[in-house]
Amino acid sequence: MGLVNLNVIIQKFGGSSLATLDDRKTACQQIIKAIEAGYKPVVVVSAMGRAGAAYATDTLLDLPGDRKNLSARQQDLLASCGEVISSVIIAGQLTELDYPAQSLTGGQAGIITDDNFGASRIIAVKPDWVVNLLKKDIIPVVAGFQGISQDGEITTLGRGGSDTTASALGYALDADKIDIFSDVDGLMTADPSIYRDAENLKEVTFTEACELAYQGAEVIHPRATEFAQAGNIPLRIRAANNLDDNNGTVIKDSRELNKDRPVTGLAVRRQVSFIEIIPDSRNDYETGLKSFRLLADNGISVDMINIRPEKISFIVDSPDLSRAVNLLDSSGFSYHNSDKFCKVSIVGSGMTGLPGVMSRIVDALNTAGIKIYQTTDSHTSIACLIEKRSEEAAISALHEAFKLNHKE
């Protein structure tokens, strides 16, 4: 049972699920269905539509023209408006349908963050206002993607912030479940825009979903998965326009799932840049290693690290490249960088301790004529750095090698 036996369900609606009047009517239908099933919904909304739509976040941020004229604080104030507009509109539509609802900002819903504008992290959730509304049979409609700092400043949570809002509220309210509604019917074995035979995944573990998200599957934000896992709350990714309660992907505790499959799905990160630092007379091997401290001190994360006496290499996210290059230049490092690569990952809880997984990856890619430039692995994933031009062939080869179209 949820908080004080209220049978709470969190329902989050993405921007594309609220883009048109018909979309918003469908969202209201999903909310009413939950009420009729005996739940008390807490609704979390994103800004309506995508870039170009009147109230989408990117559209709002483009209104001033040159964003450089706005401080990070001012940008967060502007960016937070889209979700507030959505919450007011959905609360109004529900009330018109005789389901009393009230819109709340993230701060009013109790989302307390640090003061890192543009990418704040939630440090506490104090949902007293939300609980009081639920007890009065009023539907709280919360503006996602935002919170309030301890100094009273409006902050935003960065990409996927509304997912994080939903899961954080679910955790704080001891919700029975969390439904994330979007324009896709759950997680898939691969990105269908790359591999058209990708299949829907009915169930995955919290760890697998988090790993897929970190490795490039953008259907759910990893922080959202972490909150749900901490509360052991089943999280479901659903298509907003599908009223069948059995659709989508359920993300849940690994102990409840079949561990026989070694690989669950594939993910691709395209926005990466490959950097090779070459020690020379000015930069010996030990000095080259200091590049990691230099980048870390400036908030730049590195991945797929390979350290050899003759070369040190790694990848950084493409948006961080120009800062990384400036830092390396100013410190006198000799290096090469390239944006012709992508990171392809296989993910699955069942691969832990299982021999032969890397062999199958190498054989599949080699047979397809795809060169592997670098690899990295964890308990639940193995990633290969390959050329972007080969990503479609790589996904196809790996999908077939691990028989992701032939699950029992």
Both tokens assigned to 339: 């944006």
Q: Where exactly are the structural domains of the chain?
A: 3-183
* Residue in the structure block whose two tokens are 């301790």: 353
Prediction pTM value: 0.87
Residue 196: partners with Cβ closer than 8 Å, 6 or more residues away: none
Quote the CA–CA distance of 394 and 190 in Å, as a whole number.
11
- At a CB cut-off of 8 Å and minimum separation 6, what does 230 contact? 171
pLDDT at 408: 43
CA 172 to centroid of chain Cα atoms = 20
What's 3-183's CATH class? Answer: alpha beta
10-residue mean pLDDT series, the chain (408 residues): 71 94 96 96 94 86 82 94 97 98 98 94 96 97 97 92 96 96 88 90 90 83 89 92 86 69 91 88 68 92 89 93 94 92 93 87 96 92 96 96 75
Question: What CA–CA distance (Å, rounded) separates 272 from 280?
Answer: 26
- Cβ-Cβ contacts under 8 Å for 124 (sequence gap 6 or more): 110, 112
